[in-house]
């Protein structure tokens, strides 16, 4: 449920952008984090809905990093660097190991029953 709440909060902020802007792209990276890490999704949902945090402010942190590491007229931030900055901004833990991600997904799925008859 937290993942859905986080995705809805991300979509709400993305809707304020004119599409494919830098803040909108931050939302896409946050979306990926939420989908693979339910615990992070819970924190992101809180931060975006009641914590006063935003995609635009996260993007400003990434831009500051790019400006600081500029070479001539060129600046680049890799996806891994951007994710690290986003994680720091939202106070998320380091990227969990694959086993931890699987455990988080299993924990999130506990209590959910799939009735195979629904597929017939």
**13: containing domain:** 2-106
Domain count, the chain: 1
Cα-Cα-Cα-Cα dihedral sign, residues 16, 19, 20, 25: positive
List the structure tokens of 62: 């990434």
Q: Residue 108: is its pLDDT beyond 70?
A: no
pLDDT, tens digit (0-9, with 9 covering 90-100), for 2-20: 899 999 999 999 999 988 8
Whether 61 maps to a domain, the answer reads yes
Whether 111 maps to a domain, the answer reads no
Whether 11 maps to a domain, the answer reads yes
Statement: the pTM of the whole predicted model exceeds 0.85: no
pLDDT, tens digit (0-9, with 9 covering 90-100), for 25-58: 999 999 999 999 888 999 999 999 988 899 999 9
Whether 57 maps to a domain, the answer reads yes
**Pair 15, 50: CB distance under 8 Å:** no
pLDDT, tens digit (0-9, with 9 covering 90-100), for 42-98: 999 999 998 889 999 999 999 999 999 999 999 999 999 999 999 999 999 766 655
Whether 119 maps to a domain, the answer reads no
């Amino acid at each position: 449920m937290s993942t859905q709440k986080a995705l809805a909060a991300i979509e709400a902020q993305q809707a304020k952008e004119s599409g494919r802007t830098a803040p909108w792209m931050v939302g896409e990276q946050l979306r990926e984090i939420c989908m693979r890490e339910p615990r992070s999704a819970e924190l992101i949902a809180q931060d975006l809905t009641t914590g006063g945090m935003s995609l635009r402010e996260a993007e400003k942190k990434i831009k500051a990093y790019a400006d600081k590491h500029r070479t001539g007229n060129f600046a680049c931030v890799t996806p891994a660097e951007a994710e690290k900055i986003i994680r720091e901004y939202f106070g998320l833990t380091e990227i969990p190991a694959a086993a931890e991600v699987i455990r988080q997904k299993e924990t999130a799925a506990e209590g959910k029953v799939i009735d195979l008859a629904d597929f017939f």
